[in-house]
Amino acid sequence: LSIGATRALGQRLWIGGVVRKDFRLSLDSDSSDAGSFALPWTFAGGARYRLLPRLDVAGQVMYRTWSAVDSFLVAGGAPGADNTIDLSVGVEMVRSVMHPGHLRLRVGFRYATLPYPTFAGSQPSEIALSAGSGVRLAKDRAGLDFTLDRVWRSDGEGRKESAWLVYVAASLRP
């Protein structure tokens, strides 16, 4: 269940927010009932500001109550779960005000804590840098977007990993 809203505050500032509740998850493991547990609430808000006619800046904050799953995981022998926060900021530059969806450039930064620790008392986190673009086709009824992310994760206990992520999306509107 979720509810959200967006609002334009003038011609240069847009804000939005959402509240979401995922209820319960029943888990079957090896054909036996392993129980059920409560899923988290999500609270998020964001804003976009048109700094220049061809340049937007945006940010988002998201908070999830993953600790709702903690007692279920600890009872099963896992380290548990922690609430998470996700902070994102990015810029988007369009090449042409007349065709804003064609070959725009997006660059972003994200910091997030992750819900499942490797050991109790240490919360993993990740940092991501991203860049992407897209093209619009068929009189803006179709599009192709792509993004390249570089992600670094740490478990809070000295273990680290990094990855390159590639996203490709196609869209078609009637």
For the chain (174 residues), the mean pLDDT of every run of 10, in chain order, is 97 97 81 77 98 96 93 83 96 85 91 90 94 90 95 91 97 90
The sheet with strand 55-64 has its strands ordered as 2-9, 13-21, 41-52, 55-64, 84-93, 104-113, 125-137, 142-154, 160-172
Determine the pLDDT at residue 125. Answer: 96
| Close Cβ partners of 130 (under 8 Å, ≥ 6 residues apart) | 90, 106, 107, 108, 109, 110, 147, 148, 149, 150
Determine the pLDDT at residue 32. Answer: 65
The tokens for 163 are: 């990855």
Determine the pLDDT at residue 127. Answer: 98
The tokens for 31 are: 């054909």
Q: What pTM does this model have?
A: 0.85
